[in-house]
Structure 1
Amino acid sequence: MTGLRSARPPTVQQYVLESLRAAITTGELAPGAPIRQDTVAERLGVSRVPLREALKILEGEGQVVYLPRRGYIVAELSLEDLVEVYRIRDLLESEAARAAVGRLTDADLERVAEAQRDVEQAATRGDLLAMTEANRRFHFAILGGCGMPRLLRIIRNLWDSTDAYRSVYYNTTANRARVEREHRAILAAVRRRDADDLVRLLAVHRDHAVAALREIIAPPDGTARRAPSRPE
């Protein structure tokens, strides 16, 4: 599992959790793939205890599924699940964005701009994992100004549950270019402190992702595609 991380976060469980997230996000652990705990534990150099704890967290987020007599597998991509999550995000992130836009400092704006630069650099390289991480920093640098930690925790959980979908969306050059254009417009709205335009642009941004993923997960011919592991 070459995509698993080698740099350890502060705790073993966090290290395992972030490694599994990275493998799912990049498609190294593809939808429907079994998670062989002995192999993963050996690769990461950990016992099965933190691995089981990490898998339970991912199960709670809907990223993995436990099957009796089979163990854990990566959850299949589901259009219904995606649409539900993005609908909830629309409601919650609109509230957070409106509350945040007038509270962001110049330092906050620089963090948003820096994250966007990282998104564009990762997109140019075709580095889906780096782009996914930078994209999250971009959005939460904005939403984090809302001053509502409980709301942000809920939104983060929703994001965690759809990282695999996000990497599928980023897999094409056209979608990566669209993300860059939309991020620039979002950043401009933030700098203008225009809450209405920010909420509108974030909604368009989400809608485009769902529309593109709809064609991948449930195309008109009915032949759903699996998440690819390498960008086109």
Structure 2
Amino acid sequence: MTDKDERFFSVDPNLVKSLRELAVEKIREGIVSGYFEVGEHLKERELSKMMGISTTPIKEAFRILENEGLLVTVPRKGTFVSEYASTSIEEILLLRAAVESLCARLAAIKMSEEDVNELEQVVLIMESLHNKGDSDALIEQNSRFHQLIIASTENKMMQTILANIRSIDKAFRKRALKVEVEREVGYQEHRAIFEAIKQREPDKAEQRMKDHILRTKDNILAAEARAQAENGPS
């Protein structure tokens, strides 16, 4: 775990979260974003020093992330990023595609005109941020776009499913939006989803959302697999 940029683990002291929640969120994001590589040994003391917290919440976070399939603990050796982490991430994104595409369908039916206008404003902000190349702000507006669609369904079951995978989803979006081509294509797809919702075309909204999520998943995972193969073992 050497040569890491420790700023990745900077913690905002104003966040009203438990230390365990913060540790889970940061380590999970580190795995999903590629900051930690498959097979990398994660050490409690190093992480506690980087985050400025005790090892207790780190231990608790390890247990939670092991249950999610992102970490694996080997007796007398330590805790490592699971070789199945990419598989777990891919399956979670498949779940997201299935559920959120239904959200887009319902949004095209249920969304109020006021919410449609708010969604349009988000799309315009995304366009401006894309043109400026402001990836960090674009990630936040990207999340806002999807959350407005999810909220408009007023379907608690779908909202709960997507809330449970939000941390992994957000980390993957951050990973995707590092790629310039992905930012361009992603923006165009968001606009197409919005247009389908605005025109009250549920079939198109559903299909465009599903295509958007699956294409992003396939492109980013495939590109990273190619890069890993070209670079060989580190």
* Superposition TM-score, scaled by structure 2 size: 0.76
Query: Contact conserved, 2:119 with 2:148, CA < 8 A, in 1?
Result: yes
Cα distance change of structure 1 residues 211 and 6 upon mapping to structure 2, 3 Å threshold: closer
Q: Secondary structure at the match of 2:9?
A: coil
Instruction: Quote the residue 1:230 is aligned against.
Output: none
Q: Which amino acid aligns with 2:7?
A: T
Tell me if 1:137 matches 2:113: no
Instruction: Quote the residue 1:155 is aligned against.
Output: 162
Instruction: Quote the residue 1:121 is aligned against.
Output: 129
Cα distance change of structure 1 residues 114 and 69 upon mapping to structure 2, 3 Å threshold: farther
Q: 2:103 aligns with which of 83, 96, 107?
A: 96
Q: 1:192 aligns with which of 199, 206, 214?
A: 199
Q: Which amino acid aligns with 1:72?
A: T
Instruction: Quote the residue 1:66 is aligned against.
Output: 73
Identify which range, 112-121 or 89-98, moves more after superposition. 112-121
Indicate the structure (1 or 2) with the bigger Cα radius of gyration: 2
Instruction: Quote the residue 1:43 is aligned against.
Output: 50
Instruction: Quote the residue 1:4 is aligned against.
Output: 9
Q: What displacement does 1:178 show?
A: 0.5
Query: Contact conserved, 1:34 with 1:71, CA < 8 A, in 2?
Result: yes
Identify which range, 77-86 or 39-48, moves more after superposition. 77-86
Alignment partners' CA distance in 2, 1:146 and 1:153:
12
Q: 1:87 aligns with which of 83, 91, 94?
A: 94
For structure 1, which runs of at least 5 residues remain unmatched after alignment?
227-232
Tell me if 1:210 matches 2:210: no
Alignment partners' CA distance in 2, 1:71 and 1:122:
42
Q: What displacement does 1:186 show?
A: 1.2
Query: Contact conserved, 2:28 with 2:168, CA < 8 A, in 1?
Result: no
Q: Which amino acid aligns with 2:73?
A: Y
Q: Which amino acid aligns with 1:121?
A: L
Instruction: Quote the residue 1:229 is aligned against.
Output: none
Alignment partners' CA distance in 2, 1:152 and 1:22:
21
Q: 1:53 aligns with which of 41, 60, 80?
A: 60
Q: Which amino acid aligns with 1:3?
A: F
Alignment partners' CA distance in 2, 1:25 and 1:114:
29
For structure 2, which runs of at least 5 residues remain unmatched after alignment?
1-5
Q: Secondary structure at the match of 1:54?
A: helix
Q: What displacement does 1:217 show?
A: 4.6
- The number of equivalent residue pairs is 224
Query: Contact conserved, 1:77 with 1:165, CA < 8 A, in 2?
Result: no
Tell me if 1:178 matches 2:190: no
What fraction of aligned residue pairs are identical, expressed as a percent? 23
* Superposition TM-score, scaled by structure 1 size: 0.76
Alignment partners' CA distance in 2, 1:26 and 1:130:
17
Cα distance change of structure 1 residues 112 and 37 upon mapping to structure 2, 3 Å threshold: farther
Instruction: Quote the residue 1:105 is aligned against.
Output: 112
Report the aligned-residue RMSD.
Answer: 3.3
Alignment partners' CA distance in 2, 1:45 and 1:136:
28
Alignment partners' CA distance in 1, 2:221 and 2:52:
38
**Structure with more of its chain in helix, by fraction:** 2
Q: Which amino acid aligns with 1:145?
A: S
Q: What displacement does 1:10 show?
A: 0.7
Query: Contact conserved, 1:25 with 1:167, CA < 8 A, in 2?
Result: no
Q: Which amino acid aligns with 1:154?
A: I
Identify which range, 96-105 or 114-123, moves more after superposition. 114-123
